[in-house]
Amino acid sequence: MIYRTLLSIALFGITLSVSHAQLLPTNVIRPLSDIRDLQPATIRPPQPNTPPLAELLSPVTEHLTPALEQALTPIDTALTLTANTINGQTPLADINEAITPEGQLVLAREWVIYVEENDVALSNNHSIEILEQQYLAALQLWAVRLKVAPHIDNLQQLKNSLQGVAIKGVDRNHVYLTQAGAAAATGAHQVTLSQCHGKQALRIGMLDSAINASHPVFADISVTESVFLEAGYPVSQAHGTAVAGILSQALPEEVSLKLFNAASFYARNQVSQGASVFHLLKGLNWLGSQQVEVINMSLTGPANVMLERALKSLYDSGISLVAAVGNAGPAAPPLYPAAYEQVIGVTAIDANRQIYRWANQGAQVSIAAQGVSVVTARGNNEMGAETGTSMAAPLVSAAVGCFSATNDAPGQLPAFLRQQLTDLGAPGWDPVFGHGALLLN
């Protein structure tokens, strides 16, 4: 693996962000997914006089430490994603993703609006195609997915074209990505809450990829799943199974867990999963009707008017919202939904209480939990180690469900849970660890 990683870095001759395909504004870096737009000629071949591979790598590999090898793992994952895409092995042929001028990943020329019910003015515009529309009762909005002509594929031109339509909100159909990375095989551990504040049963929701519900780790819990992908979208069970596995193991044995998963993510390739805003809206609407106490969102992307509106409706209904802050690195800007004020943002630490090196930092960080080399379920019915803020978020979701009380605000850490936190970093709240770390066995 390391040989391939080092050689790939030398051949590309470019700086790659090791953010696990995380989207960033263009003034920071182009997203890794954008690499698929490269033509083969863009990649510089090795020069004829290049020394043999063994001669190039032996001085480096002789001094590799386990820590350095672990640090290079995200690069290898990113380069594998790139190689798969360039070689045509990606399953995205029928999913038309695009990068906006702002560097955001979207479904090409697609927009989502929410309007008054039965507003027919949209159907009279020949530059706009209505792809889908649905009233989302739990979110209290009528959502419409549009595809627009190229000449109105920007916010101002689209608004001009929609004059006369009673629009309450409009935004692009952004694509959001899951937040897990490769984990070291050594030092892997399982984490479990030692108590659940007197609760005997919990109903927790997930907005994620599909789950392999036949995995043995789910034998003692109830898993209900609804899929919100159109026919033909490639499905992945890897990320959802890992997140659900952490939730199932995080609770004490005496607590009965009913898990509700809104499977909204498609497989972008072997290591990356994506979901459009419209997929997420439908998933959140279903979760809002399942009487869940907490919704776990191990995903990130840009700010989106529609997503914010939906989350506020769920928050107002009393549902606690938990999200991973992202794996874009400490200097990256805030990512969503964790950065919305109604959401509890979760960062990741390792077993030694050190911050995960690729975790986002900032005002959106509420709490830290173990998310480095955490043992959980794999889609192939095995167990394995996973890393990322995606893996820390379900631990906090379980804790919020366990420790919440009727007088706790859904967008805030429950008072009893805050009493269990260990203050790390600067005294009090800080942008690295938030209010403190949830340290589990």
Q: What is the pLDDT, as a whole number, of residue 372?
A: 95
Q: What is the pLDDT, as a whole number, of residue 253?
A: 87
With CA atoms as reference, report the closest residue to 28 among 17, 39, 18.
17
CB atoms within 10 A of CB 195: 12
Q: What is the pLDDT, as a whole number, of residue 121?
A: 62
CB atoms within 10 A of CB 181: 26
Please write down the long-range contacts of 164-168, taking CB distance under 8 Å and 24 or more positions apart: 164/121, 165/113, 165/115, 165/119, 165/121, 165/122, 166/115, 166/116, 166/119, 167/113, 167/114, 167/115, 168/113, 168/114, 168/115, 168/116, 168/141
Mention every residue, 6+ apart, whose C-beta is less than 8 A from residue 138. 284, 285, 286, 287, 288, 289, 313, 314, 317
Residues of the chain with pLDDT under 70: 1-94, 117-123, 181-189, 441
Angle between helices 66-86 and 2-12 (to 10 degrees): 60
For residue 225, the SS3 value is strand
Could you report the per-residue pLDDT of 96-122, keeping only the tens digit for each? 999 999 999 999 999 999 987 666 566
Domains located in the chain, CATH noted: 2-86 (no CATH), 97-174 (3.30.70), 177-438 (3.40.50.200)
**Predicted structure pTM score:** 0.79
What is the rounded distance in angstroms from the CA atom of residue 139 to the CA atom of residue 224?
Answer: 20
| 375 DSSP β-pair partners | 385
Q: What is the pLDDT, as a whole number, of residue 58?
A: 43
Could you report the per-residue pLDDT of 127-162, keeping only the tens digit for each? 999 999 999 999 999 999 999 999 999 999 998 888
Which amino acid belongs to residue 141? L
